[in-house]
Amino acid sequence: KFHSLDNLDARRHVNRLCLAAKVPLIDSGTTGYLGQVTPIVKGMTTCYECYPKAAQKVYPICTIRSTPDKPVHCIVWAKVRSAS
């Protein structure tokens, strides 16, 4: 099973399903220009929830839409705008 979900709750859910069904999982994702791939195999590797994830400190620019629907979109836009 391959996935590249951008939601931690969804990743945890898929992780649990694959572990329960003994299906190997390839977890992947990106942050800016950086990427990561992690194989998860029950009994052979650590699972997605076996090690703590750092809290997200910055919001990717891709979350900003032409019509913001969350306060964080406006905050990130203003932060980027003031830095340039």
Catalytic residue positions, numbered: 62
- Give CA–CA dist 58/41, Å, rounded: 30
31: exposed, middle or buried (Cβ count in 10 Å: 0-12, 13-18, 19+): exposed
**Other residues' Cβ atoms within 10 Å of the Cβ of residue 42:** 14
Torsion, Cα 65 71 35 6, to 10 degrees, reads -90
Six-digit token string for 15: 């992780």
